[in-house]
Amino acid sequence: MSQAVTARTLQDGPLRAPEEPVNSAALPLAVDLDGTLLLTDTLFEAIAEQLRRRPMWTLWQMIQLPFAIAKVKARIQTASRVDIASLPVNDSVGLYCIRARAAGRPVWLVTAADQAVADETVRHFRFFDRAVGSNGVTNNKGEAKARRLKELAPNGFEYIGDSRADLKVWKHAKAASLVGGGERRRRAVERMGIPVAEQFERPARGLSAWRKAIRIHQWAKNALIFVPAILAMKIGDPATLLACLAALPLIGIMASGTYILNDLVDLAADRGHPTKKKRPFASGQLKLWQGFVAAPVMILGGLVGGFLLSPGFAATMVSYLILTMAYSFKLKRVALADTLALSFLYTLRLIMGAVVAGVALSQWLMVFSMFLFVSLSLAKRHVEVVRRAAAGERRVANRGYRAEDASLTLGLGLATATVSPLILVFYVIESAWPSGVYQTPEALWIAPVALSAWLMRVWLLANRGELEDDPVVFAIKDTQSIMIGA
């Protein structure tokens, strides 16, 4: 079974060639890079890195890409600082190259990536003799790659590739090795009369990887849109309930698109994180181009659905999208501003719920939600700071926090955690009790007590560095939280 490691791991040498080489043929071994040796695509890695730094410039380059692919590819990849050593590697292909080199075979990197990327890759790996890439004029892919290989190896070569475009290269090879493609691609190669030397696996890409990528578990946070209708006693109205139920997946679809976009611009930071490095795009389980397609489709799909449901609701969704983009591209790297942005994203869900239900949003609820969600956002950041400090690191990668900020995040988090139940107490005294809406207003006193108990648990786990999930998601997964809520 193929397993993802990084280029740095492979370079540092945990993989050793066997004493008896498995292939003693004298054929040069030509190896593709994107999707073959690497489980990712260096062009899309560069696009993702540039999108974070220069979004408008990157969008303009992507528009030009189909018309001058070699030139634009060189421009993007030259401007980028993609760390080849951190990229996920197909270790089976890496081992095959090591064994070929041990057998005395020439091993060449022959890729459609720009020559600068090819050269950097060869510097990071110790088993390549030569690097051949695109040169800014010719895109070294398909027929162009085949012509170059025939010039370099007139007596024949073995080529390892992964895409349909590589059929044009295999047609001129003495032997073919395939990455993925299944039996269908194998038969296509064999029909050309080319023997298949090896077929390598890719990491499983299925619904489970997409479920992780779209953060389906985060959809639980969207249940906040029901709160305004519940407090306004309108949730029993069929039209209101149906409107809220229709809005729920629309918010989820749009938010999932923003999660994917966030993962794409955060690839480098995620790969340096102990748990985020397992995310589908960072680990190579999903192809980056799929993310670049899925993100705008989901975002636009959610917005169009929201507009059809209610123009006012769509307007709040646009506000949510703008703040999310600001968070992904800038605010997440600014200490404390990130927690304020996250807390307002929660509050925006309440505003969406009020708009779609056609009810007024209580000022009590707005103030309460801001303090509560600031506290929960600080809890999330506090865990990261505590863990980095415990690991002996001074800074939290891709965030604006340092290890010494733990006391600050703890103090501010506990302060806002104290204020939110207090606001709930004032609401009961000043509004809920005198209104006469509730038959047994005494029961309302349970709410601030239960909330205080739950916040104490959240902060206990956060201070220990044991809070694994987003606090709102944690609330619906943690047994003790469920018992407190009940």
pLDDT tens-place string over residues 246-258? 999 999 999 999 9
* CB 234, CB 357: distance < 8 Å: yes
Please check the confidence at residue 66 and state whether its pLDDT lies above 60: yes
**What pLDDT is recorded for position 434?**
79
Tokens matching residue 98:
């090591």
> Which residue is associated with the tokens 């509050």?
347
- Specify whether the CB–CB gap between 116 and 78 falls below 8 A: yes
Band of pLDDT at residue 425, cut at 50, 70 and 90: very high
Distance CA 367, CA 375 (A): 13
Could you give phi then psi for residue 31, rounded to 5 degrees?
A: -125, 130
% the chain with pLDDT above 90: 66
Three-state SS for 358? coil
Closest C-alpha among 52, 51, 34 to residue 43: 34
Residue 23 predicted with pLDDT over 50: no
| CB contact at 8 A, 33 and 104 | no
DSSP annotation string for 250-289: HHHHHHHHHHHHHHHHTHHHHHTSTTGGGSHHHHTSS-HH
Say which DSSP state 26 is in: -
- Would you state the pLDDT for residue 471? 77
Per-residue pLDDT at 378: 95
Average pLDDT of the chain to the nearest whole number: 88
* DSSP element (H, E) containing 70: helix 69-79
Tokens of 282: 């960072």
**Is residue 390 pLDDT above 90, yes or no?**
no
Sheet of 130-134, strand order = 130-134, 107-114, 29-31, 158-161, 175-179, 196-200
pLDDT average, residue stretch 182-204:
90
Per-residue confidence band for 423, with pLDDT thresholds at 50, 70 and 90? very high
Residue whose token pair is 């390549």: 128
19 has a pLDDT exceeding 50: no
Domain coordinates in residue numbering, the chain: 1-40+87-200, 207-485
Q: How confident is the model at residue 20 (pLDDT cuts 50, 70, 90)?
A: very low
pTM of the model: 0.86
Q: Pick from 12, 166, 38: which is nearest to 91 by CA?
A: 38
pLDDT of 26 reads 78
CA angle 38, 264, 390 (to 5 degrees): 90
Report yes or no: 216 and 297 within 8 Å, Cβ to Cβ: no
- The pLDDT tens digits for 294-318 are 999 999 999 999 999 999 999 999 9
Amino acid letter, residue 57: W
Return the pLDDT at 6: 60
Query: How many Å separate Cα 310 from the centre of its chain?
Result: 30
Q: Which amino acid is at 65?
A: L
When the candidates are 1.10.3470, 3.30.70, 2.60.40, 1.10.600, the CATH number that belongs to 207-485 is 1.10.600
Question: Looking at the predicted structure, is the pLDDT value of residue 16 above 50?
Answer: no
DSSP string, 44-111: HHHHHHHHHH-HHHHHHHHHHGGGSHHHHHHHHHHH----GGGSEEEHHHHHHHHHHHHTT--EEEEE
How confident is residue 469, by pLDDT bands cut at 50, 70 and 90? low
Top pLDDT among 274 and 407 is at: 407
* pLDDT, greater one: 480 or 211: 211
pLDDT for the residue 10: 57
pLDDT tens, position by position, 236-247: 999 999 999 999
pLDDT on residue 8: 56
How far apart, in Å, are the Cα atoms of 21 and each of 91, 93, 98, 99, 416?
Answer: 17, 15, 9, 6, 64
Three-state DSSP at 175 gives strand
Q: For the chain, how big is the Rg over CA atoms in Å? A: 27
Please say if the pLDDT value at position 326 is more than 80.
Answer: yes
- pLDDT of 126 reads 86
DSSP bridge partners of 29: 107, 158
Low-confidence winner among 43-47, 188-192, 439-443, 452-456 (lowest mean pLDDT): 439-443
Identify the weakest region by mean pLDDT among 10-14, 175-179, 273-277. Answer: 10-14
Higher pLDDT, 136 or 91: 91
Residues 6+ apart with CB under 8 A from 408: none
pLDDT of residue 400: 86
Q: How far apart are CA 166 and CA 172, in angstroms?
A: 10
Print the SS3 string covering 395-450: ECCCCCCEHHHHHHHHHHHHHHHHHHHHHHHHHHHHHHHHHCCCCCHHHHHHHHHH
Structure tokens at 358: 């056609």
pLDDT over threshold 50, residue 1: no
395 has pLDDT over 60: yes
Q: How far apart, in whole angstroms, are the C-alpha atoms of residue 32 and residue 112?
A: 8
14 pLDDT higher than 70: no
Given this model, what pLDDT does residue 18 score? Answer: 37
Mean pLDDT within 166-186: 93
Count, residues in the chain: 486
Q: What is the pLDDT of residue 25?
A: 60
Q: Check if the beta carbon of residue 306 is closer than 8 Å to that of residue 314.
A: yes
468 pLDDT more than 90:
no
The pLDDT, as a whole number, for residue 5 is 55
| Per-residue confidence band for 486, with pLDDT thresholds at 50, 70 and 90 | low
CATH of the structural domain 1-40+87-200, one choice from 3.30.1300.30, 3.30.360.10, 3.40.50.1000, 3.40.50.10490: 3.40.50.1000
pLDDT tens-place string over residues 109-163:
999 999 999 999 999 998 999 999 999 888 999 999 999 999 999 999 999 999 9
N- to C-terminal Cα separation, the chain: 45
Of 441 and 4, more confident: 441
Instruction: Kindly give the pairing relationship between strand 4-6 and strand 88-90.
Output: antiparallel
CA dist., res. 294 & res. 291, Å (int): 5
**What is each CA distance from 177 to 31, 184, 403, in whole angstroms?**
9, 14, 48
Kindly report the backbone phi and psi dihedral angles of residue 279, in degrees, each rounded to the nearest multiple of 5, phi listed first. Answer: -60, 150
pLDDT of 15 reads 44
SS3 39: coil
Angle at the Cα of 58 from the Cα atoms of 57 and 62, rounded to 5 degrees: 120
Q: Is the alpha carbon torsion for 100, 106, 112, 114 positive or negative?
A: positive
Nearest residue to 255 via CA among 282, 209, 224, 286: 224
Answer yes or no: are the C-beta atoms of 401 and 381 closer than 8 Å.
yes
